Structure 1
Amino acid sequence: MTDLSFRGVLPALVTPFRNGRVDEAAFVALVERQIDGGVHGLVPVGTTGETATLSHEEHRRVVELCVQTARGRVPVIAGAGSNSTEEAIELVRHAKAIGADAALVVTPYYNRPNQEGHYAHFAAINDAVQLPVFVYNVPSRTSTDISNETLARLAKLPNIIGIKDATGDLTRASFQRLMCGEDWIMLSGDDPTALGYMAHGGHGCISVTANVAPEQCSAFYDAALSGDWAGALQAQDRLITLHKALFSDSSPAPTKYALAHLGLCTDEVRLPLVAASEASRREVLQAMKDAGVA
């Protein structure tokens, strides 16, 4: 049966900065806020964590801080992707060494491998490190898409245990569930369609919105996991404008603005990203009110 220790809402954590450096104190406080808000897991140094502009030293340090702060209270899935297979293996090895519970590995971006290349990339990681790995499929960012047929092959490998599916394509979820088997863990990577994804058999979501509204997102996933679809729909209706607003400008700038408005960190992002526009800020503030975020 599916290992449901990886289920529910797992925030794709922002990496807070102050004066160009990682703000470690703010990061620790954000992790504690998430756990207090009832989230089911944590995902440091993913896309929302601006991993593309972190140095290798910063990347490793943020994962270590997350694991140390979580102290086993919730699982940690460490971002560990690269378009270099060798580098991805090294990042997964580091995640295992410092005690992360799993790794999140994005499909190789820019290189645009074919399906056999995708399989070989993840198979090499599977063979190199004994740590559970989630495949992260986000074609809008990587310009490549891993097929359900390739995922079905990967699902037979012992360390490739599931997917973060940020395609927003709900039809592929049902086919994937049938093709990959009951042990395959299905996590959405798209907040707005996560209700449908859960109804198609998904187990949870690696969420951007949870950064801002951990309690509200946790309540949504608790309802969905318990089969309270009416309650989940009601929660979705409160959150949907926030889901949209947090992508009203280049992510994670709107999310960092929301957190700065709450006094939790600065809204600083690293170039080539810039701070959220005034129009985006207005949209975020209204959406926070709609969602009941103080």
Structure 2
Amino acid sequence: MPLTAPLHGVVPPVCTPLDAHGEVDTGSLSRLVGHLVDGGVHGLFALGSTSEVAYLTDAQRAVALETVVTAAAGRVPVLAGVIDTTTSRVLEHARTAADLGADALVATAPFYTRTHPKEIAGHFRELRAAVGLPLFAYDIPVAVHSKLPAGLVRELAEDGTLAGLKDSSGDEGGLRRLLVELGGREGRSSGPAADFSVLTGSELTVDAALLAGADGVVPGIGNVDPAGYVRLYQAARAGDWELAAREQERLVALFSMVDVGPEADMGRSSSALGSFKQALWLLGVIENGSTVFPQIQLSGESVALVAERLRAAGLQPVR
């Protein structure tokens, strides 16, 4: 579904299920896409952080993206992460994504080496000009070690380089300042950046972000409960902030599954991504809850805790 209007709503970063050999399980991935679309999501973000994109080979990336595009079958737009260290490498991913039918691209600033805002601007402009698909910036300082300045984002929004931004900075004040920079809650519907979409990557503060003027959310745990985030979004759009807050609080409790893996034994990313995948396995959506090596897998005890979180949130495991 080509992006003919500004992106809005719930756009989960799609998990990448693996088979017993560590390859992309296309059957499970297709079922996951069905689970998300049936849950009412407004788009799909393939090959993001929750997709374990940094761990996948180029061939695995292509298989995952092609599977998501095919399974989506034009029902919702598919955004393709083209995340890599340098412009030349990102361009290769971007051309592949375009060939495979992606509707838009998502890229970070260049990383590994330090970059200046002028270099970051050149990076995004080169991507937009070379491939031609709508381009979303992915602001994730924990991974790329640079925060996208609000003034730069506005500049790239106004000149048409960027179609939107996924904010995973964890800086809620910074997100609010960006929204004000773009015109504020009441003023974003007109002006040079009127078609620019701001999506929060923070699953825990979606109601607050929507109240401030954000257009949607890219929730990792939305893989597990897409319908919950859709209800939250719809309540906010209707101005029912009490209902939105109640749904947000339920999802905050569900999100606690990300910490089921003991901190002394495994990384926080391994625990979080493992919990999402194991939850999908428990719900019968995918056939294997494993994450990509060298991430440490959740123990049976931790998986049992994931099941408890699901039941507490009103979701019923089938395994």
Provide the secondary structure at the position in 2 that maps to 1:186: strand
Provide the secondary structure at the position in 2 that maps to 1:78: strand
**Are 1:219 and 2:231 counterparts?**
yes
Structure 2 distance, partners of 1:147, 1:118, is: 10
RMSD of equivalent CA atoms: 1.9
Aligned to 2:107: 105
TM-aligned CA deviation for residue 3 of structure 1: 6.7
User: How many equivalent residue pairs?
Assistant: 293
Provide the secondary structure at the position in 2 that maps to 1:260: helix
**Are 1:237 and 2:249 counterparts?**
yes
TM-aligned CA deviation for residue 154 of structure 1: 1.4
Do 1:28 and 1:66's aligned partners in 2 also have CA atoms closer than 8 Å?
yes
- Choose 1 or 2 for highest CA Rg: 2
Describe the shift of the 1:247–1:137 C-alpha distance in structure 2 as closer, same or farther (beyond 3 A).
farther
Structure 2 portions without partners, runs of 5+: 183-192, 261-267
Structure 1 portions without partners, runs of 5+: none
Structure 2 distance, partners of 1:10, 1:65, is: 17
Provide the secondary structure at the position in 2 that maps to 1:21: coil
Provide the secondary structure at the position in 1 that maps to 2:284: coil
Matches within 5 A, 1:17-32: 17-19=18-20, 20-32=22-34
Deviates more, 1:10-19 or 1:268-277: 268-277
Return the match for 1:137 from 116, 136, 139: 139
Describe the shift of the 1:197–1:277 C-alpha distance in structure 2 as closer, same or farther (beyond 3 A).
farther
Do 1:135 and 1:162's aligned partners in 2 also have CA atoms closer than 8 Å?
yes
Aligned to 2:39: 37
Describe the shift of the 1:40–1:272 C-alpha distance in structure 2 as closer, same or farther (beyond 3 A).
same
Structure 1 distance, partners of 2:81, 2:275, is: 21
Aligned to 1:126: 128
| Counterpart residue type for residue 278 of structure 2 | Y
TM-aligned CA deviation for residue 5 of structure 1: 5.1
Deviates more, 1:133-142 or 1:89-98: 89-98
Q: Deviations over 1:171-225 (max 9, x none)?
A: 2223222334332210011101222111110011111111111111211112122
* TM-score, length basis structure 2: 0.86
Deviates more, 1:250-259 or 1:169-178: 169-178
Deviates more, 1:258-267 or 1:38-47: 258-267
Structure 1 distance, partners of 2:175, 2:305, is: 31
Do 1:10 and 1:40's aligned partners in 2 also have CA atoms closer than 8 Å?
yes
Deviates more, 1:277-286 or 1:98-107: 277-286
Provide the secondary structure at the position in 2 that maps to 1:254: helix
Matches within 5 A, 1:18-97: 18-19=19-20, 20-97=22-99
Return the match for 2:298 from 264, 267, 276: 276
Aligned to 1:260: 281
Aligned to 2:197: 185
TM-aligned CA deviation for residue 142 of structure 1: 2.1
User: Runs of 4+ in structure 1 displaced over 6 angstroms?
Assistant: none
